[in-house]
Structure 1
Amino acid sequence: MQWRAFRKRQGETVASKWEINCYCMLPLRTVSRVWGWIADIELPKFLRPIVYGLYSNTFGVNISEAQPEEFTHYPSLSEFFARPLKDGVRVIDNDCCMVSPCDGTVLHFGTVDTEHVEQVKGVTYSLKNFLGEQSWKKGDSNANNYRHSLLHKPDVGNTLYQCVIYLAPGDYHR
């Protein structure tokens, strides 16, 4: 059973203090640094097509969009991970009211009608814990309704929206 389905069956929606403490105890910084060290290792040219080809097939990387397209051009996985795209591959539509800052899959979107926001993998966070104190609104913070205090012009019917975009490993590029 998925964790999200389990939590919903249990009637839980917000991450508990215990869950947050467990997450904070994970050695994420160490794992991140080790992975960064591995990703920066320069691969021999003969291995690059094998490693990057496997990575591309596994994660759906469209190498034909990259500039350059040759796997041998990228000395490390970090370089391949942040590969530049060819000019014109991602054109920003200036006539559209909203564009995505990245490639990815929209997991969740909609209005924020409560003091909580749903995030990846079904974990819900309080807006205040997720966004932090409003340092940009000195003395204007409404302690009773954090969501309402985020609105630019709450008296004219502004709405707060959220959108969660999942970046798969194949979606990363420069």
Structure 2
Amino acid sequence: MNSLEKKQITYGQRLKIAFQYAMPQIYLTQIAGWFANKRWGAVTHFVIKMFAKKYNVHMAEAAKPNFSDYVTFNEFFIRQLKEYARPINQNTDALCLPADGKISQCGHIDDELLLQAKGHSFSLRDLLAGDEELTRLFKDGEFVTTYLSPRDYHRVHMPCNGTIRKMIYVPGELFSVNPFLNTHIPNLLARNERVICLFDTDFGPMVQILVGATITASISTVWEGVINPPRTGDIRTWTYEGQSAVSLAKGQEMGAFQLGSTVINLFPKNAVKLADYLQVDTVTRVGEILAYKK
């Protein structure tokens, strides 16, 4: 953070940043995960109700719209939506948005640099945990970063038809990824815990990354289930071929967050053109246009 930025933020904001570095991230996350899975009846329903009120959660579009329908907080947090609540654009030359939320950043990957926030970039190589093959594939390509707020639907979907070829779990920090901290913590998205998924698609290779955050109790995919915990501190890699290479359809669910976070999509050079309307703070909904085939 440079001296000008320091002058522009308040003392309270500086404390928020300092707290992110000082707090016991893993223990808070473990406690949150333990609580979120508890079946406490009326207490659980009260907590869900208060959460929904605070964050203005739109329950009318949920498949189960009543708070009492959920046995645990996690069931509520990864609630499914009513059928057809998110129509999937059927243009075969278009890719669709993978998550509800807001665009944090999007645009061109400048050699190996992605924009995190105004004045802050981070390395493609760092984001991809040093994987040389993936770094070469997406160098000078395009990227889209989508932030999911607490009120949003937290299942993640496929932008297009794809077949999973590789998945990498990367241990890391658990900084909050809210817009303020994303602006003030350098390399945040390349430092946080994340699950990197490489797909073969009709648009070329595509990476979809699920980024963890403070109190993100777990990240799951539909083909492997819960990826974390456990949190062993080691990078883990899965490769898929033959019968193990699961294919998913455009708009199909591919993963979910139990609290959190951020989704990053990567596309190779000259593969897609991002939709013109996408810019910082654009509200996103699963199934709407993300990009077009070049």
TM-score by structure 1 length? 0.67
Cα 1:71/1:120, change in 2 over 3 Å: farther
Letter in 2 for 1:165: T
Q: Using the aligned pairs only, state the percent identity.
A: 28
Taking the aligned partners of 2:112 and 2:132, their CA distance within structure 1 comes to 18
- Other-structure match for 1:72: 68
Select which of 160, 168, 174 maps to 2:141.
160
Question: Residue 111 of structure 1: CA displacement?
Answer: 0.8
Cα 1:135/1:108, change in 2 over 3 Å: closer
Residue pair 2:113, 2:122 contacting (<8 A) in 1 also: yes
Equivalent residues in 2 for 1:5-16, closer than 5 Å: 6=5
Question: Residue 26 of structure 1: CA displacement?
Answer: 5.6
- Other-structure match for 1:115: 112
In the alignment, is residue 128 of structure 1 matched against residue 125 of structure 2?
A: yes
Select which of 101, 104, 108 maps to 2:101.
104
Bigger drift between 98-107 and 27-36 goes to 27-36
Letter in 2 for 1:170: R
Letter in 2 for 1:38: F
In the alignment, is residue 83 of structure 1 matched against residue 64 of structure 2?
A: no
Question: Residue 167 of structure 1: CA displacement?
Answer: 0.1
- The count of corresponding residues between Structure 1 and Structure 2 is 143
- In structure 2, runs of 5+ residues without a counterpart are 9-19, 156-294
Larger relative strand fraction: 2
Q: Indicate the structure (1 or 2) with the bigger Cα radius of gyration.
A: 1
Residue pair 2:103, 2:144 contacting (<8 A) in 1 also: yes
Larger relative helix fraction: 1
TM-score by structure 2 length? 0.42
After TM superposition, the runs of 4+ consecutive aligned structure 1 residues lying more than 6 A away are: none
- What secondary structure does 1:119 align onto? strand
Taking the aligned partners of 1:132 and 1:113, their CA distance within structure 2 comes to 18
- In structure 1, runs of 5+ residues without a counterpart are 10-21, 138-145, 153-158
Question: Residue 70 of structure 1: CA displacement?
Answer: 1.0
